[in-house]
Amino acid sequence: MNTMDTVKLLIGIDVGSTTVKAVVVDHLSGEIIWQDYQRHETKQPEMVLSFLQRIESDHSHITRDEMRLYLTGSGAMNISALIGAKFVQEVTAVCLAAEKLYPDVGSIIDLGGQDSKIIIFKEIPGTGRKKKIPSMNDKCAGGTGAVLDKINAKLAIPSDELAKQQYDGVKLHSVAGKCGVFAETDINSLQKQGVQTKELMASLFEAIVLQNLTVLTRGHTLRPQVLLIGGPNNHIEGIQQAWKHHISLLWKERDYPLPEGCNPKDLIITPDNALYFAAIGAIEYGLDEEEDHGEYMGWDALNYYIKEGRLKAKAGADKGLVTSEDEMHAFYEKYAPENFESASFYPGQKVEAFIGLDAGSTSTKAVLISPEKEVLSKAYQLSRGNPIEDTKSVLNKLHEQVLSAGATLRVLGLVTTGYAKDVLKEVLCADAAVVETVAHTQSALHYYNKVDVICDIGGQDIKIMMLKDGQVKDFELNTQCSAGNGYFLQSTAESFGIPVEKYAENAFKARLSPTFAYGCAVFLQSDIVNFQRMGWQREEILSGLANVLPKNVWLYVAQIPNFAKLGTHFVLQGGTQNNMAAVKAQVDFIESRFEGKPEKPTIIVHKHCGESGAIGAGLEAIRLWEHGRKTTGFIGMDATANIKYNTTCDESTRCSFCKNKCLRTFIDLELGENGHQHGMTMNQHEGMAKTPVVSATNGHTAHNGNGKSVKTRRVIVGNFCEKGSVEDVAAMRGIKKGLDDVIKTTPNLLNVANKELFRSYSPVRVSPPKQKGLFKKQKKEVTDRSDLRIGIPRVLLMYSLAPLFTSYFESLGVLKRNIIFSDFTSEQLYKEGGKRGAIDPCFPSKVTLSHVHNLLFSKQEKKPLNLIFFPMVGDMCSGLVNTVGAWVCPSTVPAAETVKAAFTKEKDIFKSMNIQYVNPFLNLVEKRLFEKQMFDTFQPVLGITRKENMQAVDQAYECLEQYRSNMRAVARETLTTIEQENKIGVVLLGRPYHKDPGINHEIFEGFQKLGYPILTQDVLPQDDYTMEQLFGAEVREGIISHPLDISDVWKRTLNTNVNIKLWAAKFVARHPNLVAVELSNFKCGHDAPTYTVIEEIIERSGTPFFSLKDLDENKPKGSMKLRIETIDYFLKQYRERIFDLVLEDEVY
């Protein structure tokens, strides 16, 4: 081994995801004597080899023994071992370089290809050192350069133009930064609306910067100087401007001390040599290392790896989709959908048929179905970005098939489905718009007797519908992540120059395939690149990619690893199932999940897999016909072909009728001379159906292409709620009145509770202590209570305990008007306070920070608060019997401490605002202990006596009980009405905070508008009659000891809210008029263990059960709407079924 004394060259190489950068430093002088960077075009080892050879040849007078080699970067770890280099972690290297070259560095923002990193430096007093607080993205590509690359590839901006893209002064639109694929969806949609490229890019910069600032700073404030490094930060002006804008804003918001007279933006810099930071830092690291590191062994082993080694690694890889041609043929024999042949029409034939139209996100499909439910013909159109144009095209194709045979077509009915179903229903005056999940289910059930699971994989969407007794009991959609959809297979094949139709043919050629790690589609893209680099052929990659698809569908998106619970009959449908490679992978995967189990799966590929949705819609049209609707509103084929329209989507179309401020699109359909849509009859025009969400109004005028003024009918789309479906206030009021009428007659106990919880219960004012001369000080304190203003975050258990605390304070003399709750959760409230968060727990815990922020920066401004009270309730009674514990969730209890940490860590904000933060730990089960805890907490604050405190606690418990009694009475009344009117009531199975509209995302309002009364689990009636009706028999049989006993369904009755939920589930399971919708948040560790039990309790009794799990801060509007519509459809069926049974009972 040579010692460092003999070393002449220090070589640092940074092997990044897109480029390789190298610097060579003279050991003696410390000068950089050689540097270069090259794009490696996915060939990292080759590029490193080339660098080494060049360095050796450029320094031929120096032997390998006299060189030391340090590698860093995402691709360095494996290569290091082959050449004897020391691997240096990238962040460490970057920090070392930054500290050396920029001693004043305070933060680094390194935006890499697949990694985003933020490093904050904090001085350690007295040591001269700086501590680094690093943070980087996890398994998701959100906020990385990969997102930028993906969008840039789509928009095809040349690299020199990309570098010049601006942020400052450019109009911004809403783009998701969380996921590259969703960003692409948003960009697609904006592009279709005609938004310019420069605005798209600026919006993307905004999204990426905000994503990183929210997620990666972990609540710390970036410190100046901020160095922007990494590819995008280096090269793109716009992203630099976005960082400067937002960081400056943050400093201002947080009152961060900056050098006087300095422009904050000047403290955010992009170093000239940032490209080589990691390579320089790696050498710095090496200089500080022990003697025996980084001894360069030459490039022979690397060369061997490139030529042979990595190919050998392939030998241990996965097998291909098939092992032989025979196996492939056998598979095709069994699973390939039979060829469809259109019906043959003859001249003069008068064809009478129904049309099902499925306007999906990537394609539009239409089918012509005979009244006998036979598919006569199909048509398909790949999306060209405009559903109306696509529809015109597919309907024209259908029509042509009839006309070309000399026949004529009479359309008996048309029903739409798919994401554009409502628009098309309006434009075409269709008979109905049926929700996608229902259309797919009906289609599958039409062809196959027994269906447990429908797996529908379309271009963008994945839907997995789980059925029980012919009704959808649950479904999973890819609302949060798009990994696993068909578009990805298609785009990959096309990037290899293979049309998607030839995908399977190519993939089946592979006998080996690389193993992709399932997960984020953006990273799969990178894996493809890596596998190509390792020598895998395109057929093998296609095979591997098909293989990973089911894993992404079932394990990553739907997260259903346990197939035993699903059933055994699977129907695969959706356009992607036309790709037999994808089908083979699905079949293999599903079969593998049943290995070792007695039951075996039956897997069927839908015979019209691509058109299953359209067929479902067509079947619905037939059903309507059969149920007496003997006319259709459909404008007809000719009118459809002649549809002329104009779309507008800009600030002028934005809705202002509610806080959502939806950006709507106005579609103005040109009307003919007679004031009707081209080709429409008077009847059709007048009979146009109106839906609450999408509406059309006549009488607008617009200018057509010739500059002539024409009459139009306006269809409004893009609005989330009903109010946005019209333009003028009077019409909106009309709609609102209609809604109000429904709401008035349909009780929603969530809203009632939200009023009851936060009102005053006028507790008895407890007797003040006797005033004697010596206690003047005390007297003053007592008097002062009426001026005391207490802020309480409206979070967590406040949704079941607020009356306890408000009554306590009121009984001590605090005025009700001086007890200030933070606002209900909203997107704005969350965003304003959320950036201080250091951790990522469940949303209800996370949002507490924003509520305290709301009290501090919104409520406080109006009138100063004296204290903020955020209790940590450790246990509370459930009212149930025979339980072993009364714990409260361990994530919500310490939330008050986390909030305290967030507002005091850099600067004590409470102190600076002269507010006392009071967050006692409280036990509610033992009243006397609670009394002590409250006394210990408030004696020093309010100057109370023990007696006062005791009386106030008594009052508090009484008022809490009064709230519960009131709510139970309302619930009983509601239930009686439901029973009387044979209605179906929806019970929210959730946690107290699910009453917060910002946390339940107003899902239950959706049900209420559809006429379903809403009840909540915590105040279900417990009167003797109800208890006897529902539980009496079981008590007598000895199954349970008491109606409030849950030991028959759950042994570990440790947690109050879990226990209440289980009891409520039992209640619903036993009540004929009730169904349950369970809400649960992402990362809810308390709900998770009960998912199966809750489901079993309810479904075992034949009661419909629906659940919305993994709720978080994102409000998935589309998915929620889809769910509500689906649930509504099946609840209607259930209601018919269940009350028919009751009637039959009565008859006999």
- Region 74-103 residues binding other proteins, contact defined as CB under 8 A: 77, 89-92, 95
- Please provide the distance, in angstroms rounded to a whole number, between the alpha carbons at the two ends of the chain: 99
Sign, CA dihedral 1092-1098-1101-1103, equals negative
Which of 127, 159, 339, 683 forms a contact with other proteins (CB under 8 A)? 127
- Binding span for other proteins by CB under 8 A among 175-183, 420-428, 773-781, 883-891: 883-891
Shortest separation between residue 44's beta carbon and other proteins, angstroms = 16
Sign, CA dihedral 484-490-494-498, equals positive
- Region 952-981 residues binding other proteins, contact defined as CB under 8 A: 972, 976, 979-980
Report which secondary-structure segment, H or E, holds 123: strand 116-124
CA distance 721 to 738: 13
Shortest separation between residue 539's beta carbon and other proteins, angstroms = 27
CA distance 558 to 425: 30
Which of 64, 905, 964, 1042 forms a contact with other proteins (CB under 8 A)? 905
**Closest to other proteins by CB, 377 or 1080:** 1080
- Region 329-368 residues binding other proteins, contact defined as CB under 8 A: none
**Closest to other proteins by CB, 382 or 1039:** 1039
Residue 929 in contact with other proteins, rule: CB under 8 A: yes
The contact mask relative to other proteins for 1037-1076 (x = CB under 8 A, - = no) is x-x--------xxxxx-xx--x-------x--xxxx----
Residue 1088 in contact with other proteins, rule: CB under 8 A: yes
- Region 1017-1036 residues binding other proteins, contact defined as CB under 8 A: 1023-1026, 1029, 1033-1034
**Closest to other proteins by CB, 28 or 1147:** 1147
Nearest in space to 599 (alpha carbons), one of 608, 590, 586: 590
DSSP for residue 794? -
Which of 687, 1011, 1085, 1118 forms a contact with other proteins (CB under 8 A)? 1085
- Region 759-798 residues binding other proteins, contact defined as CB under 8 A: none
Shortest separation between residue 532's beta carbon and other proteins, angstroms = 21
Q: Which residues are 677's β-sheet partners?
A: 671
Shortest separation between residue 558's beta carbon and other proteins, angstroms = 10
Asked if 199 and 392 touch (Cβ cutoff 8 Å), the reply is: no
Residue 1141 in contact with other proteins, rule: CB under 8 A: yes
Asked if 921 and 872 touch (Cβ cutoff 8 Å), the reply is: yes
3-state secondary structure 1055-1099: EHHHHHHHHHHHHHHHCCCEEEEEEEECCCCCCHHHHHHHHHHHH
Query: What is the token pair recorded at 652?
Result: 């002028």
The contact mask relative to other proteins for 980-1019 (x = CB under 8 A, - = no) is x---------------------------------------
Residue 902 in contact with other proteins, rule: CB under 8 A: yes
Residue 33 in contact with other proteins, rule: CB under 8 A: no
The contact mask relative to other proteins for 837-876 (x = CB under 8 A, - = no) is xxxxxx--x--------------------------x-x--
Residues contacting 120, CB < 8 A, separation 6+: 106, 107, 132, 133, 217, 220, 222, 223
Shortest separation between residue 780's beta carbon and other proteins, angstroms = 28
Shortest separation between residue 919's beta carbon and other proteins, angstroms = 8
Shortest separation between residue 1085's beta carbon and other proteins, angstroms = 4
**Closest to other proteins by CB, 389 or 1096:** 1096
Which of 30, 39, 131, 661 forms a contact with other proteins (CB under 8 A)? 131
- Region 104-123 residues binding other proteins, contact defined as CB under 8 A: 122-123
Nearest in space to 682 (alpha carbons), one of 625, 646, 636, 724: 636
Shortest separation between residue 969's beta carbon and other proteins, angstroms = 9
Which of 4, 81, 136, 155 forms a contact with other proteins (CB under 8 A)? 136
Residues contacting 1043, CB < 8 A, separation 6+: 1022, 1027, 1028, 1030, 1031, 1032, 1035
Burial (CB < 10 A; 0-12, 13-18, 19+), residue 499, is: exposed
Within the chain, what is the greatest distance between any pair of CA atoms? 112
CA distance 947 to 949: 5
**Closest to other proteins by CB, 259 or 890:** 890
Provide the residue type at 385 as one letter.
Answer: G
Half-sphere exposure (CA, 13 Å, Cβ side) for 934? 27
- Binding span for other proteins by CB under 8 A among 607-615, 695-703, 742-750, 1085-1093: 1085-1093
Cis ω for the linkage preceding 225 (within 30 of 0): yes
Residue 598 in contact with other proteins, rule: CB under 8 A: yes
Query: How many residues at the interface with other proteins, by CB under 8 A?
Result: 119
- Region 187-246 residues binding other proteins, contact defined as CB under 8 A: 218-220
Residue 552 in contact with other proteins, rule: CB under 8 A: no
Look at residue 24 and give its three-state secondary structure.
strand
Which residue stretches of 652-709 are H helix?
A: 682-686
Sheet holding 790-792, edge to edge: 819-821, 790-792, 867-869, 916-918
- Region 500-519 residues binding other proteins, contact defined as CB under 8 A: 517
Query: What is the token pair recorded at 794?
Result: 């409206």
Shortest separation between residue 926's beta carbon and other proteins, angstroms = 7
Residues contacting 452, CB < 8 A, separation 6+: 466, 467, 468, 566, 567, 568, 569, 570
Angle at 376 between CA 372 and CA 382, to 5 degrees: 130
CA distance 975 to 747: 10
**Closest to other proteins by CB, 824 or 921:** 921
Residue 692 in contact with other proteins, rule: CB under 8 A: no
**Closest to other proteins by CB, 626 or 897:** 897
Which of 569, 900, 1009, 1061 forms a contact with other proteins (CB under 8 A)? 900
Phi-psi region of 171 (alpha: psi -120 to 50; beta: other; left: phi over 0): beta
Residue 1106 in contact with other proteins, rule: CB under 8 A: no
- Binding span for other proteins by CB under 8 A among 307-315, 407-415, 439-447, 902-910: 902-910
- Binding span for other proteins by CB under 8 A among 390-398, 622-630, 643-651, 901-909: 901-909
Which of 259, 864, 1089, 1118 forms a contact with other proteins (CB under 8 A)? 1089
- Binding span for other proteins by CB under 8 A among 101-109, 371-379, 394-402, 884-892: 884-892
Which of 390, 540, 954, 1087 forms a contact with other proteins (CB under 8 A)? 1087
Sheet holding 985-989, edge to edge: 1014-1016, 985-989, 1074-1081, 1105-1111
Nearest in space to 1108 (alpha carbons), one of 1129, 1083, 1079: 1079
